[in-house]
Structure formats: structure tokens, C-alpha cells
Amino acid sequence: MVRGYKSAVTKQMNIINVGKYDQSSVVWQRSYYEHIIRNPQSYQNIADYIMNNPAKWTADKFHTI
């Protein structure tokens, strides 16, 4: 299901961005971490991470801006 979604989005981006980007441009992050949400607590932990993570960016060792 995810593979189909990513394929469809990539095709549409290539149609919309003709001439703006190389067709072979990387669109998706490789080796991403996928996690199945199995219960409300797991959902809450993930939601909290997403909401709070931007505040920690400047402390990240890879933050360059």
C-alpha cells in the first residue's frame, strides 16, 4: 500500500514539476523507520514526538541553519 502511494505521488510530482527538477531526483527518504501504531499509548507517544521535535532541532548535532 505504501509503495503504491509513493509511486503515485512521485509520478504526479514529475508531471507537475516538468522542467523544474530532474526526473530522477530523489523524492523519498531511504531507510526510513516504519512503526505500526498498535494502541492509544503508542499513538500518543508518536504524536508527542512529532509535536515536540521541532523545538529540539537547534540542539541537534546535524542542524546547520
How does the average pLDDT of the chain come out, rounded? 82
For the stretch 28-46, pLDDT in tens is 777 777 788 999 999 999 9
- CA-nearest of 14, 31, 15, 11 to 23 is 14
CA distance 59 to 20: 33
| Rg of the chain in Å (alpha carbons) | 16
Q: What distances in angstroms separate CA 9 from CA 16, 41, 46, one per listed residue?
A: 10, 31, 24
- CA-nearest of 48, 44, 14 to 28 is 14
- pLDDT recorded at residue 24: 57
Identify the band that residue 48 occupies on the pLDDT scale cut at 50, 70 and 90.
very high
* pTM exceeding the 0.75 threshold for the entire prediction: no
Identify the band that residue 10 occupies on the pLDDT scale cut at 50, 70 and 90.
confident
